[in-house]
């Protein structure tokens, strides 16, 4: 292999860059100037329409190509990674390195084969796991802070389900196989499943399924919702597209937890797909797990009918279709809604008051929009007429088709009505619905009430209750020696994964998750502690599929030796120096351990006892922060040093070669380096 002798002067930052006060916008000139490794891979990301040097054919680009690019040319203008057929993603090819993955002790390689879909949060690709020779699905989130933080919550929820509440997968939750960082994108790897329920209805020409299939699919959905209820998780997006057929079990699994939250800390007021959106969401009422049961009731009817039960064209039209088929909402429910006045006129006051839904023209005038005309999809007006009179295929058995059809229809109607109860506190829970005669196939006598002793709906919480403070959370997971500053992508990822393996879920509503109490449900914290105790006692402990990791932000006795300052630096300073005998020549540009800390000022090799870290009280979560390094014994030239850190999640990564030794036969190893510069076209959003 031919080696390149690189001079550190080539990478020296100019005074104009140092004087710039723009920390978040990359200098596009630096990309061309600094790239010295992986040049071919980077070139095919930036110019995907060129001829491949490997196949001599035009590269097949799976992502949408736009006129403008972001993330130093790796993304289109929608912040989606530009992906081609044959790309190999994973910790083995990531600029961030294998440390920022589910299992830092191994490397992963996923070769892209096709795109399965795209959405608001990112893209999903079919890929081949080159390490284990299996087909997988890789979800690549957009490289923007809000999507990244929500993705970290999705990883936390999937880890809770896969490793604690549904370890064997018998409750029909999708299996998360891996996760890693790739060019500022969070990537999550799942098992590859088959068609979803919506596609199956399409293939069936929207005729609906037999009652036996409806019963089977609803049982599997309710089993999943039951474990979510026990874990205090709200899925927030139950719909046919997220119920996917698993050919290995001949059943369905629930996926896409990208909108999920905890019932003790609901995040957003606008959730769920419109056709499956619960009334409390539309009216602005605090919600709980019952919104998933409303969606389940809508899906059950759709499995029978073949098309959505409430196919509203707007929120106003959605409310109209719900009340037109099920009747009016009770006044006490409308009184609780913060958005009730947008859809209803209140007549009178006190106990004699009542609500009347606005006319379409009133809603149009008040909101300055034009509503689509209401479309009727059914000739029957009420749900009872619909279920009792539509053509119904009981099963593939003609005898079952003839016998007990009326009883089955009545049981199905009662089953759907229990999940479409207007009052969330009266709506059935998953465990109650699983006991219904329609599911158990026991005799139905015309009416049914859930047996005593089963779980009941929990009161919706406003998210203000916390069981531990942010200080207690920080001490529990990181001790008292954590650098607190504005976080980049890798640091945020690191904090989330370390906290999760301590039984805590960080608060994603803040750019710095250490400034607010965690979102961890109390039940999960107790369950995790009990499993940890059993693990230490030799009993069946928690699933160790995800390797325990140590935060790169935790400056402990084992890595404090790197923290002695050579000289003052700024986040814009490109040149870095390492003086560590036996590793690299003095004055050579390098990064160490393939981490996102290469813009930190480099430290000489100093005994760990010479320094300790204290938190700087003046640090802001959204700004560049600092940490004091205080001298203990007076043997270091600088008694106090300030370590500057970048605050932006979307910082371009430039691979810089480092030499392990001076022998010419040794290969280069590439590691990331932050480059800051003049204001460019990229408009990045920090976490």
Q: Give CB contacts under 8 A, 24+ apart, made by 101-105.
A: 101/178, 101/179, 101/180, 101/181, 102/178, 102/179, 102/180, 102/497, 102/546, 102/547, 103/178, 103/546, 103/547, 104/547, 104/549, 105/547
* DSSP code at position 196: B
Question: In which element (H, E) is residue 211 found?
Answer: helix 211-230
CA dihedral over 38, 43, 48, 50, signed as positive or negative:
negative
- 347: number of Cβ within 10 Å: 10
Dihedral-angle region of residue 370 (phi above 0 means left; psi in -120 to 50 means alpha; beta otherwise): beta
Based on the residue annotation, tell me whether 166 is a catalytic residue of this protein. no
In DSSP terms, which residues pair with 614 in a beta bridge? 628
> Is 139 known to sit in a ligand binding site?
yes
Q: Which whole-number Å values give the CA distances from 62 to 50, 65, 551, in the listed order? A: 14, 9, 35
Q: Are 202 and 127 in contact (CB under 8 A)?
A: no
Which 3 state secondary structure label does DSSP give 332?
A: helix
CA dihedral over 562, 565, 566, 568, signed as positive or negative:
positive
Gap between the Cα atoms of 1 and 378, Å rounded: 72
Q: Residues 630-639, buried b or exposed e (16+ Cβ, 10 A)?
A: eeeeeebeee
CA dihedral over 607, 612, 613, 616, signed as positive or negative:
negative
Gap between the Cα atoms of 40 and 25, Å rounded: 24
Q: Are 180 and 101 in contact (CB under 8 A)?
A: yes
Gap between the Cα atoms of 51 and 476, Å rounded: 53
Q: Are 143 and 185 in contact (CB under 8 A)?
A: yes
Gap between the Cα atoms of 284 and 279, Å rounded: 8
- 338: number of Cβ within 10 Å: 11
Q: Residues 1-16, buried b or exposed e (16+ Cβ, 10 A)?
A: eeeeebeeeebebeee
Closest CA to 148 of 99, 81, 93, 82: 81
What's the burial of 371, exposed, middle or buried (CB within 10 Å: 0-12/13-18/19+)? Answer: middle
Q: Are 264 and 276 in contact (CB under 8 A)?
A: no
Catalytic member of 237, 263, 597, 610: 237
Gap between the Cα atoms of 149 and 475, Å rounded: 22
Gap between the Cα atoms of 210 and 333, Å rounded: 36
In DSSP terms, which residues pair with 155 in a beta bridge? none
For 429-482, what is the HEC assignment?
CHHHHHCCHHHHCCCCCCCCCCCCCCCCCCCCCCCCCCCCCHHHHHHHHHCCCE
Helix, strand, coil percentages for the chain (3-state, nearest 5): 30, 15, 55
In DSSP terms, which residues pair with 672 in a beta bridge? 655
**Strands, E assignment, 309-376:** 344-347, 354-357
Closest CA to 256 of 295, 211, 201, 309: 295
Binding site members for ATP: 139
Would you name the residues annotated as active-site residues? 237
């Amino acid at each position: 292999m031919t080696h390149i002798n690189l001079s550190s002067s080539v990478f020296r930052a100019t005074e104009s860059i140092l004087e710039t006060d723009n920390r978040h916008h990359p200098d596009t000139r630096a990309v061309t100037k600094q790239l010295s490794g992986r040049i071919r891979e980077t070139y095919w990301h930036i110019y995907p329409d060129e001829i491949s040097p490997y196949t001599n054919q035009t590269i097949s680009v799976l992502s949408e190509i736009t006129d403008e690019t972001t993330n130093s040319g790796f993304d289109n203008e929608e912040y989606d990674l530009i992906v081609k057929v044959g790309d190999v993603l994973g910790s083995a090819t990531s600029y961030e390195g294998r440390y920022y993955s589910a299992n830092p002790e191994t490397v992963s390689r996923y070769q892209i084969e096709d795109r399965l879909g795209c959405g608001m949060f990112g893209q999903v690709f079919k890929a081949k796991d080159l390490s284990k020779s299996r087909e997988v699905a890789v979800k690549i989130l957009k490289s923007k802070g809000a999507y990244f933080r929500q993705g970290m919550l999705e990883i936390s929820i999937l880890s809770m389900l896969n490793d604690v509440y549904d370890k064997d997968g018998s409750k029909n939750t999708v299996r998360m196989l891996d996760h890693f960082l790739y060019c500022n994108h969070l990537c999550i790897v799942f098992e590859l499943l088959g068609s979803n329920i919506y596609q199956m209805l399409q293939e069936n020409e929207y005729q609906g399924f037999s009652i036996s299939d409806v019963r089977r699919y609803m049982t599997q959905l309710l089993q999943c919702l039951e474990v979510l209820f026990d874990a205090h998780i709200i899925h927030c997006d139950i719909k046919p597209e997220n119920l996917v057929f698993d050919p290995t079990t001949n059943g369905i699994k629930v996926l896409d937890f990208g909108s999920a939250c905890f019932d003790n800390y609901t995040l957003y007021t606008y959730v769920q797909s419109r056709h499956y959106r619960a009334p409390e969401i539309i009216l602005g009422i605090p919600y709980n797990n019952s919104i998933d049961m409303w969606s389940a009731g809508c899906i059950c009817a759709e499995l029978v009918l073949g098309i959505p039960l409430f196919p509203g064209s707007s929120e106003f039209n959605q409310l109209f279709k719900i009340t037109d088929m099920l009747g009016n909402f009770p006044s006490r429910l409308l009184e609780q809604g913060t958005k009730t006045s947008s859809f209803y006129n209140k007549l009178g006051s006190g106990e004699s008051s009542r609500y009347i839904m606005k006319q379409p023209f009133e809603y149009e005038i008040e909101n300055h929009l034009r509503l689509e005309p209401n479309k009727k999809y059914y000739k029957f007006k009420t749900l009872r007429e619909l279920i009792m009179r539509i053509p119904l295929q009981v099963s593939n058995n003609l005898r079952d088709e003839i016998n007990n059809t009326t009883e089955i229809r009545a049981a199905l109607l009662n089953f759907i009505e229990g999940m479409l109860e207007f009052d969330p506190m009266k709506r059935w829970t998953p465990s109650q619905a699983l006991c219904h005669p329609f599911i158990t196939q026991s005799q139905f006598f015309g009416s049914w009430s859930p047996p005593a002793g089963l779980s009941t709906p929990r009161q919706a919480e406003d998210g203000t209750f916390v069981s531990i403070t942010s200080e207690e959370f920080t001490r529990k997971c990181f001790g008292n020696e954590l650098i607190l500053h504005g976080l980049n992508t890798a640091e945020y990822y690191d904090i989330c994964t370390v906290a999760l393996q301590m039984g805590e879920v960080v608060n994603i509503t803040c750019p710095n998750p250490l400034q607010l109490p965690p979102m961890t449900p109390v039940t999960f914290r107790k369950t995790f502690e009990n499993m940890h105790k059993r693990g230490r006692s030799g009993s069946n402990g928690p699933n160790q599929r995800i390797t325990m990791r140590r935060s790169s932000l935790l400056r402990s006795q084992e890595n404090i030796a790197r923290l002695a300052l050579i000289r003052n630096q700024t986040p814009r300073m490109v040149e870095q120096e390492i003086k560590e005998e036996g590793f690299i020549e003095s004055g050579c540009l390098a990064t160490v351990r393939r981490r996102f800390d290469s813009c930190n000022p480099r430290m000489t090799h100093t005994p760990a006892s010479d320094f300790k870290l204290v938190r700087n009280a003046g640090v802001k979560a959204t700004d560049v922060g600092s940490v004091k390094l205080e001298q203990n014994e007076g043997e270091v030239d600088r008694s106090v040093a300030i370590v500057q850190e970048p605050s932006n999640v979307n910082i371009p990564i430039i691979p810089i070669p480092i030499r392990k030794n001076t022998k010419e036969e040794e290969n280069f190893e590439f590691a990331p380096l932050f480059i800051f510069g003049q204001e460019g076209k990229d408009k990045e959003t920090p976490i």
